[in-house]
Structure 1
Amino acid sequence: MSGVAASHIFVDGAEIPASRIAAEAQNHPATAGRPGDAWRAAARALVIRQLLLAEAERRGLTATPERLDDVRLETAEEALIRDLLDEALIVTPPSPEMVQAEWQAHPGRYRSPSLWDAAHILCAANPADLPAMAKAEDRANRILGLLERDPSAFAELARAESDCGSKDAGGALGQIVSGQMVPEFEAALERLGEGAMTASPVRTRFGFHIIKVHAHAPGQVLPFDSVKASIGEALERAAWARASRAFVAGLVAAARIEGIDMEGV
């Protein structure tokens, strides 16, 4: 069967109406040029939901909704699915030896944040506006040419040219912590040594940046005792996710599903 959802989908003879799939599709982003992706993801999600609810009913579970926060309460269906997974999934917490082995195998994952003292000049443009982006890139290259001739003019040019509020401070961004900036900007910071400036403008969702790093303090590997609790929680979450996928895959394999390819669930 094709991977695209049909307009009529049945789970063990019960139809999932197209109207429900259309409503659910609003919660699933579509890839540019592939509008069927959202429909297919919505259909698969509803099939899984129906299978879980049917299994909860088969086990005789009853819904006891819990409060999610001060204003939100679980729906009866959400409560049933939560109770089902609590009953069906048996996840053993990782042993201390497993936690320590994970830390020893991947110490680089558990670091304190990197810190940078950096400045930038932003030539702003909306990435969806191609002429504006081209103009912004040309302007950034012009500024970069001036800086290549006189690097000491960075703060002066930032005050005159930058479209960021940091222009008033000569482009200075202060102390930047890893994870604080958009990925493209941070990747450029990672490549630069202290005192270095980007050789070409860096494109982000905000336009084009010229970036200069004044100082960099790389993150340090954290001692085991300070991260063992978070590693244990991460390992338990991963084990729960694996068990959940296996449980759903078993429900899918045992069901009669028409109108949508559930391969890979």
Structure 2
Amino acid sequence: MSISVNGVAVEINGVSPEFAATRELLRQRAVGLGLIEGAAYDDDRIGAAIENLLAREVATPDPTEAECRRYYEQNPSAFTSGDIVHARHILFQVTPRVNIPDVRARAEKTLATLLREPDRFAALATELSNCPSGQQGGNLGQISRGDMVPEFEKVLFRLGPTGILRELVKTRYGFHIVAVDQRIPGRTLPFEMVQEHVAAYLRAAVEEKALRQYVSMLAGQADIEGVDLAASVSPLVQ
């Protein structure tokens, strides 16, 4: 692929054609404005000159508090903390050599016992569970989405009462007796907590749009062969 910008051949060197052409276009603009001497091709000097060029010619205003708040109010799901569950379990592990019906039968018998005598959960977890948590009475602590295997989480985060679940939970590891001790639904984080994050996001979006427009303007005034910068979504991002 042969690429040139105003008659200057552009080398790709492991980057995208759009990035290489954009860099050369900006280098030439920096030279034209006297931000870099002559036709220097030192990478560090070019990088510094392009930064100065963009700071000089692509000014982007910081988003106002009103703009940040409007984005926050229009996108509430983006600023919500995750659901949390506090749970315990007893694992009856299934391995290639075990008799699965026997394992299930032991698990169901234990579950029936616990539904009658829930106070024995910790003791039976210590005695029977094949999970290291058994030594802590089966306590799994605080669980967020993504912490456990999907089939386990599907049950944990299903809306329902707390306490010992009345059915075994089957996962790739075996059969689980599960007790949900507390459910803490996700909550919308206050604006003050996420304001800087919102401002940074909006600032980046404005900068990207301004950079695309600036490069498009320069490309429209240049003789570019071998690549279409106008078709690049974000030519300055490699």
- Tell me which residue corresponds to 1:52: 26
Match of 2:202 among 202, 210, 235: 235
> 1:188, CA displacement in angstroms?
4.7
Q: Do the aligned partners of 1:11 and 1:256 also contact (CA within 8 Å) in 2?
A: yes
Aligned to 1:11: 4
Percent of matched pairs sharing the same residue: 22
Q: Decide whether aligned partners of structure 1 residues 121 and 85 sit closer, same or farther in structure 2, where only a CA change above 3 A counts.
A: farther
Shift of 1:87: 1.3
1:55 Cα shift?
2.0
Summarize the Cα distance change of 1:251–1:118 in structure 2 as closer, same or farther, 3 Å threshold: farther
Larger Cα Rg: Structure 1 or Structure 2? 2
Q: Deviations over 1:37-90 (max 9, x none)?
A: xxxxx2222222222222222222149xxxxxxxxxx93333222222211212
Q: Is the 8 A contact 1:188 1:198 kept in 2?
A: no
Letter in 1 for 2:204: R
1:247 matched to which residue of 2? 214
The match for 1:192 is 158
The amino acid that maps onto 1:219 is G
> Once the two structures are superposed, what CA deviation does each residue of 1:71-128 show, in whole Å capped at 9, x if it has no partner?
xxx9333322222221121212222322222222223322345433357899xxxxxx
Matched residue type, 2:4:
V
Q: Report the CA distance shift for 1:54/1:112 in structure 2 as closer, same or farther (over 3 A).
A: same
User: What SS does the aligned partner of 1:75 have?
Assistant: helix
Whether the aligned pair in 1 keeps the contact of 2:85 and 2:142 (CA below 8 Å) is yes
| Superposed CA offset, 1:18-54 (max 9, x none) | 6x13xx4xxxxxxxxxxxxxxxxx2222222222222
Query: RCO higher in 1 or 2 (8 Å CA, sep ≥ 6)?
Result: 2
Residue 110 (structure 1) aligns with: 79
SS at match of 2:3: strand
> Shift in Å at residue 17 of structure 1?
3.5
Match of residue 257 from structure 1? 225
SS of aligned partner of 2:207? helix
Q: Which runs of 5+ in 1 are unaligned?
A: 1-7, 25-41, 64-73, 123-135
Tell me the equivalent position of 1:30: none
Q: Secondary structure in 1 aligned to 2:85?
A: strand
Structure 2 counterpart of 1:89, which letter?
V
- Match of residue 3 from structure 1: none
Cα distance, 1:235–1:183 mapped onto 2, change above 3 Å: farther
- One-letter amino acid matched to 1:15: A
Whether the 8 Å CA contact 1:120–1:158 is kept in 2: the answer is no
Q: Deviations 1:213-246 (Å, cap 9, x if unpaired)?
A: 6533122223333433432332222211221222
Give 1:249's aligned amino acid: S
Pair 97,174 (structure 1): closer, same or farther in 2 beyond 3 Å: same
CA distance in 2, matches of 1:264, 1:79: 23
The one-letter amino acid of 1:78's match is G
SS where residue 182 of structure 2 aligns? strand
Following TM superposition, where does structure 1 have runs of at least 4 consecutive aligned residues deviating by more than 4 angstroms?
A: 118-122, 141-159, 165-173, 180-191, 194-202, 210-214
Aligned residues: 206
TM-score (norm: length of structure 1): 0.54
CA contact (8 A) 1:119 1:171 kept: yes
Question: In structure 1, what is the Cα distance between the partners aligned to 2:135 and 2:219?
Answer: 59
CA RMSD of aligned residues (A): 4.8
Classify 1:117/1:62 alpha carbon distance in 2 versus 1 (closer, same or farther; 3 Å): farther
